[in-house]
Structure 1
Amino acid sequence: MIEDDLELAEILTEFLEQYDFQVTTEDDPFKALSILKLEKFDAVILDLTLPGMDGLEVCEAIRSRQNIPIIISSARSDVTDKINALELGADDYLPKPYDPRELVSRIHSVLRRYDAVSIAASESACDFKLNESAMQISYKNRPIELTNAEYGILAHMIKKQGMVVSREDLIHNVSAINEDSSNKSIDVMMGRIRNKLGDKALIESIRGIGYKLLK
């Protein structure tokens, strides 16, 4: 939960914990983005009025890095804010004040939608076998020899199969890639991955953006 009203955050946290949610609260948007990069969460509850950085910018930054449910929780009632938030990748917009029970229902709703997408993606990715604990990927039952960076790229692409993945997304989300890496170095690694898969058409280049692993 990214919320600078600490009293409200405490109330919501105590309420959500009654429904077996574990909540991490941060009132500094810059720290929150750092935490999101280092730790795995199931959803984000995001206020729009934050110190030092507008919540819409935070929403855009989160969505550019990862595919995670984002629920906006804001007292800003301007319909433009709601439209902008949804266009920037928010999944839901809950105007304050609201009954905390509605927040619980909204969280359950977005998690169900994301679970359904994940199941569909895993079914469509049946040619790939991803063993994260062993850092091993097989394609059509054939293990692929990959460097750590190549493994990280392909694993991320498999999780987002059918979606366009930007080079910046890969740089931010693959730990084996240096954040100072250039787009050219990503392209070189992607070329090596294509060769190792033995099917260069499997990964489509999206001009000016990045790549897409085809279904």
Structure 2
Amino acid sequence: MGRILVVDDDPTVAEVVAGYLDRAGYAVDRAADGPAALARAAAHRPDLVVLDLMLPGMDGLEVCRRLREHGPVPVVMLTARGDEDDRILGLEVGADDYVTKPFSPRELVLRVESVLRRARPAGPRGPLGAAGLTVDPSARRATKNGAELALTLREFDLLAFFLRHPGRAFGREELMREVWGWDFGDLSTVTVHVRRLRGKVEDDPARPRLIQTVWGVGYRFDPTGTGREGD
């Protein structure tokens, strides 16, 4: 079913998480700190990383950045508090999901399954394109004016969704349901990913023209780039 790397300096948490993932059918590696996690990932590239934000020495944010330097890998971040700043930081560095401690191990397994399911190609689909952007869902490859875009899993799915529905406005709840597959969750997740995606596809992210804010509704992809935009 896939290889999961669990990174947590609390041996009890790591053992419980690894046990539940093992019983769910995953091959599980464990690491207690950032350098060990990077070494494990280099030796056996994981299909997903469950990563604690608060690690000794090298924190989870830095571990996530370094993992991503070697290619895309889905990350579920563990945060010790329900503090919004922690969640936003995790999402800003590209975490695909987060779980706040204390958490239900069963819920974590479900989150892992959801992220992995959406990371797999959903069958043959033709390339999508507009406004100099192209997305190939089968190859999980996106470009802007021919140049490769370094997108996370959720950024890729979000861009593909926008390209499939040009000109239509979507609320954040609808985007969370359609792109993340969640019926509930923190809507700041959508806000952060839209901001990150704008930073990669807009000519001027401070004045976005393609991914436009629709006040009171949410967001709309305008392939013409001619609409007026609120931040």
Normalising TM by the smaller chain, what interval?
A: 0.5 to 0.7
Amino acid at match of 1:98: F
Query: Contact 2:53/2:59 (CA < 8 Å) preserved in 1?
Result: yes
Matched, 1:76 2:76: no
What is the match of residue 149 of structure 2? 164
Query: Contact 1:48/1:76 (CA < 8 Å) preserved in 2?
Result: no
SS at match of 1:25: strand
Give 4+ residue runs of structure 1 displaced > 3 Å after superposition: 158-163
**Aligned counterparts of 2:123 and 2:84: Cα–Cα separation in 1:** 33
**Aligned counterparts of 2:23 and 2:49: Cα–Cα separation in 1:** 18
In our comparison, the structure showing a higher alpha carbon Rg is 1
The alpha carbon displacement at 1:119 in A equals: 4.9
User: What does the per-residue CA deviation read over 1:6-53, in whole Å, with 9 as the maximum and x for residues that have no partner?
Assistant: 111111111221111111000021121122123221100000111111
**Aligned counterparts of 2:150 and 2:110: Cα–Cα separation in 1:** 30
Amino acid at match of 1:64: E
The alpha carbon displacement at 1:65 in A equals: 2.4
Amino acid at match of 2:82: S
After superposition, residues 1-215 of structure 1 pair within 5 angstroms as 1-116=6-121, 119=123, 124=127, 160-162=141-143, 163-165=148-150
Amino acid at match of 1:111: L
Structure 2 gaps of 5+ residues are 1-5, 128-138, 152-231
Query: Contact 1:63/1:88 (CA < 8 Å) preserved in 2?
Result: no
**Aligned counterparts of 2:84 and 2:40: Cα–Cα separation in 1:** 30
Change (3 A) 1:34 1:119: farther
Structure 1 gaps of 5+ residues are 125-157, 167-215
**Aligned counterparts of 2:77 and 2:48: Cα–Cα separation in 1:** 11
Query: Contact 1:72/1:93 (CA < 8 Å) preserved in 2?
Result: yes
Percentage of identical aligned residues: 39
Query: Contact 2:34/2:63 (CA < 8 Å) preserved in 1?
Result: yes
What is the match of residue 135 of structure 2? none
Q: In proportion to residue count, which structure has more strand? A: 2
SS at match of 1:37: helix
User: How many pairs align?
Assistant: 133
Q: In proportion to residue count, which structure has more helix? A: 1
**Aligned counterparts of 2:38 and 2:62: Cα–Cα separation in 1:** 11
Change (3 A) 1:105 1:37: same
The alpha carbon displacement at 1:161 in A equals: 5.0
Normalised TM-score (structure 1) = 0.55
Query: Contact 2:29/2:40 (CA < 8 Å) preserved in 1?
Result: no
User: What does the per-residue CA deviation read over 1:61-116, in whole Å, with 9 as the maximum and x for residues that have no partner?
Assistant: 22232211100012132211111111111000100111111011101110111113
